[in-house]
Amino acid sequence: MAKVRGAVIVDTEVCKGCNLCVVACPTQTLALNRNVNNKGYHYSYMENPENCTGCTNCSAVCPDSCITVYRAKIE
Amino acid sequence: MSVLADRIKEIIKPENLVYAKSPVLNDDIMHYCPGCSHGVVHRLIAEVIDEMGIQDQTIGVSPVGCSVFAYKYIDIDWQEAAHGRAPAVATGIKRVLPDKYVFSYQGDGDLAAIGTAETFHAVNRGENIVMIFINNAIYGMTGGQMAPTTLVGQITSTTPYGRNVDLNGYPLKITELLAQLPGAAYVTRQSVQNPAAVRKAKKAIRKAFEVQALKKGTAFVEVVSTCSSGWKLNPVDSNKWMEENMFPQYPLGDLKDSSRADADLYRIKG
Ligand SMILES: Cc1ncc(C[n+]2csc(CCOP(=O)(O)OP(=O)(O)O)c2C)c(N)n1
Ligand code: SF4
Ligand code: SF4
Ligand code: SF4
Ligand SMILES: [Mg+2]
């Protein structure tokens, strides 16, 4: 299994499913969920969490500031 | 899967935090459409205010347009202005409270149509304010009507066959015009469609606030933006459309920077 070095938490009720973070992610970590939040938006989530490097590209483009990013060195 | 879940738990710890929402943004959910550039620029302004430690020294002036509610989201002092009048209101605030950081936040309909006079004269007086200009080439709030900045051929609700120069005139490059005024200290055009552009735009906004402290004149930051609802495209396609169509008309980069040592060489000859 690939090394996990980053992880994000999406505030799923704030997310509007705009897809900008999905496109901005260089490691194809993110995708829009098939499920929707209470507003009916397909919120973003880590579909491939093992890919995340914690690069913060997703949080940089998010218009709704709903992504928190963590990064760690893991052996 | 549980190995993976354990690894994620290992990473999600306070000491590993690399990005969290700015404390200068409050918890109100923004009313903007999904993907709207307004949200990104709000966040960058909040981050700059936080990083400069000027939350209790900053006063924003919000416009009429979709960002009329900017005051609901960025946790600083605000004054809402009548349509187009934000630079005049910001002038008054800055003159009465010269030690505060004062900025206007305006769309293209606000800044470059109804407020053209206020915009030009504030910059021409060299008011020591920051002006943030969200150019999405359309009146977003009122249903996607043509703005002065609308591109030739662009379809809007008032130009259903595309903007026709014979009927509607030409797209207004107001930022280029403002850069020629001696009162303009720093003039730049940015965008926020990808991570690299966002990081550059944030630096430009920070610089604009720093220039204000130098009291050298107006700092003007245009952000070429999207309006997916007005353009009738999804947010990702809006960014592509912007890159292909807006950037040739509104090229990115600094137009003027009098805070540089070689400012005279750099200055656009008026
Ligand atoms: C005096 C006055 N005239 C017209 C309007 C209607 N109006 C509201 S917002 C707007 C234009 C907004 O466009 P822009 O400034 O580009 O902001 P956006 O919504 O695109 O961010 C207009 C014409 C108004 N509210 N007040
Ligand atoms: S931090 Fe980087 S790698 Fe991880 S989800 Fe966000 S963009 Fe993708
Ligand atoms: S950029 Fe933000 S609002 Fe848009 S889908 Fe991603 S997390 Fe949701
Ligand atoms: S109408 Fe356009 S400018 Fe207004 S919130 Fe929606 S996308 Fe943004
Ligand atoms: Mg507009």
Contact A59 B239 (CB under 8 A): no
Average pLDDT over residues B240-245: 98
**Cα-based distances in Å from B13 to A10, B77, B255:** 15, 33, 43
Q: Which residue has the higher pLDDT, B242 or B267?
A: B242
Residue type (1 letter), B253: G
Q: How far apart are CA B14 and CA A7, in angstroms?
A: 12
**pTM metric for this prediction:** 0.96
pLDDT at B269 > cutoff 60: no
Q: How far apart are CA B26 and CA B22, in angstroms?
A: 8
Kindly list the structural domains of chain A, giving each domain's residue range(s) and its CATH number in brackets, ordered by start: 3-74 (3.30.70.20)
Which residue bears the tokens 């703005």?
A: B147
What is residue B259's DSSP assignment? T
pLDDT at B241: 98
Report the pLDDT value the prediction gives residue B259, as an integer from 0 to 100. 76
The residue whose CA is least distant from atom 2 of ligand 3 is A62
Cβ of B142 less than 6 Å from ligand 1: yes
Per-residue pLDDT tens over the stretch B49-67: 999 999 999 999 999 999 9
Q: Count of CB atoms within 10 A of residue B19's CB? A: 20
Place of tokens 């590993």: B16
B contacts of A60 (beta carbons < 8 Å): 195, 198-199
Structure token digits, residue B131: 């002006």
The parts of chain A modelled with pLDDT lower than 50 are: none
- Over 80: is that where the pLDDT of B266 sits? no
* Chain A residues inside the 8 Å CB shell of B39: 62-65
From CA A44, how far away is CA A11, in angstroms rounded?
9
Predicted-complex ipTM score:
0.95
- Average pLDDT of the segment spanning B222-229: 98
Where along chain B do its domains lie?
27-263
Give per-residue pLDDT as tens, B4-14.
888 899 999 99
CATH code matching the domain that covers B27-263, chosen among 3.30.1130.10, 3.30.1490.20, 3.40.50.970, 3.40.50.720? 3.40.50.970
Nearest ligand to residue B142 Cα: 1
The Cα–Cα gap between B119 and B58 comes to 20
Q: Quick one: pLDDT at residue B264?
A: 55
- Between B258 and B268, the more confident residue is B258
pLDDT-based confidence at residue B3 (cuts at 50, 70, 90): confident
Q: How far is ligand 5, taken at its centre, from the CA of residue B137, in Å?
A: 6
Which residue of chain B comes nearest to A52, CA vs CA?
B8
Which is nearest to B129 in space by CA: B206, B190, B217, B41?
A: B217
